[in-house]
Amino acid sequence: MILFFRTPTKSVIATEVSQELASEDIQKLSWLYGEATVENEENLKGCFIGPRREMITPWSTNAVEITQNMGLTGVLRIEEYFPVKDENAEYDPMLQRMYKGLNQEIFTVNIKPQPIVHIENLEEYNEKEGLALSREEMDYLLKVEKDLGRKLTDSEVFGFAQINSEHCRHKIFGGTFIIDGQEMESSLFQMIKKTTAENPNKIISAYKDNVAFAEGPIVEQFSPADHSTSDYFIIKDIKTVISLKAETHNFPTTVEPFNGASTGTGGEIRDRMGGGKGSWPIAGTAVYMTSIPVLMRDANGKTSFLSANGYTRLRNRS
């Protein structure tokens, strides 16, 4: 069951509940939504822009948690919809969709999951899906098939490829290089680590966690005198350790540019707090690198590149 609340700004907050709410609970929701008025209709006419039904927004997750903290039970999902003049209004199709009226089916997803596919030819599937599995990995999967007495499924093979990818395993980055018939004494990863090993300077920890630590300055800390109980705040000098890391995020930032971007920040905080004995997220720096936007659609804003250069340097040219 979905209840519609009309806010003072004319937006509609759709609230999915698993049971009929008491009038007292409806009043609480009206207060929570900024003195919104509950609609007595199960369907609302007009055009609205709102989140895609397939994706529960972080806003909804937070809103539902707030209702739980208020003692309300049975609230499943909360989303906000904005009225527009007609269906020609602009919106972001990646995050939103146009609704021609709001009804009890706005949260219903009718997409059926694709059936499980058993892979008949692992080598063809590896090439088709671009899994980049090595000969050794392919032989291992063929052995697994023989041991199980059946063909592997697409999800099994794809999952294996992801957890054994270069991103996770550093097979190339940490592998042995043989150049002109001579085995190199160190891998690329070892070469990078060599800098810290030979010149540690103020580095305290590196390549042990998803974050590195370096000696920091003496700073003044304003905090309770006793952290185990309620106490007065005092100022004292403490020795600091500064965390250093890089966090790259393409997904889900590409799917949800705004909400997805927070996964990068969350990953930064998570790894820093989990490194070594743990740390406090007090302040940090951020560097965001994006592609150059093409704002000028003329020749002056274009740079020419030789397409063959990329193939040559990657050694993929036939």
Nearest to 243 by CA among 265, 273, 198: 273
User: Tokens in use for 143?
Assistant: 């052995």
Where along the chain do its domains lie?
2-102, 122-169, 200-274
Strands 75-84 and 12-17: antiparallel
Q: Using one digit for the tens of pLDDT, what is the confidence trace for 13-35?
A: 999 999 999 999 999 999 999 99
pLDDT digits (tens, 9 = 90+) for 73-121: 999 999 999 999 999 999 988 889 999 999 999 999 988 888 999 999 9
45-56 pLDDT, tens per residue?
A: 999 999 999 889
Question: Taking Cα atoms as reference points, which of 82, 80, 64, 70 lies closest to residue 18?
Answer: 64
Q: Which one is predicted more confidently, 7 or 281?
A: 7
- What are the Cα distances from residue 207, in Å, to 123, 203, 298? 35, 11, 46
pLDDT of residue 304: 60
CA dist., res. 46 & res. 10, Å (int): 12
The predicted-structure confidence for 184-201, as pLDDT tens digits, reads as follows 999 999 999 999 999 999
Residue 226 pLDDT: 92
Give the pLDDT confidence of 112-136 residue by residue, as tens digits.
Answer: 888 999 999 999 999 999 998 999 9
Which helix H or strand E contains 309, and what residues bound it? helix 307-314
pTM for the predicted model, two decimal places: 0.58
* More confident call, 166 vs 45: 45
Rounded to an integer, what is the distance from CA 173 to the centroid of its chain?
24
Query: Cα separation of 13 and 215, whole Å?
Result: 50
User: Do 76 and 64 touch, CB atoms closer than 8 A?
Assistant: yes
Contact between 97 and 109 (Cβ < 8 Å): no
Give Cα separations from 255 to 53, 93, 216, 251 (angstroms).
Answer: 15, 11, 38, 7
Specify the pLDDT at position 249.
64
Average per-residue pLDDT for the chain: 87
Give the whole-angstrom CA distance, residue 160 versus residue 13: 42
**Whole-number pLDDT of residue 315:** 36
The neighbouring-strand residues paired with 47 are: 84, 100
Q: Is the pLDDT of residue 274 over 50?
A: yes
pLDDT value of residue 312:
39
Is residue 102 a contact partner of residue 44, using CB atoms and an 8 Å limit?
A: yes
Backbone angles phi, psi at 169, to 5 degrees: -105, -15
CA 105 and chain centroid, separation: 28
DSSP string, 26-64: HHHHHHHTTS-EE-S-SSEEEEEEEE-TTS--HHHHHHH
Per-residue pLDDT at 27: 96
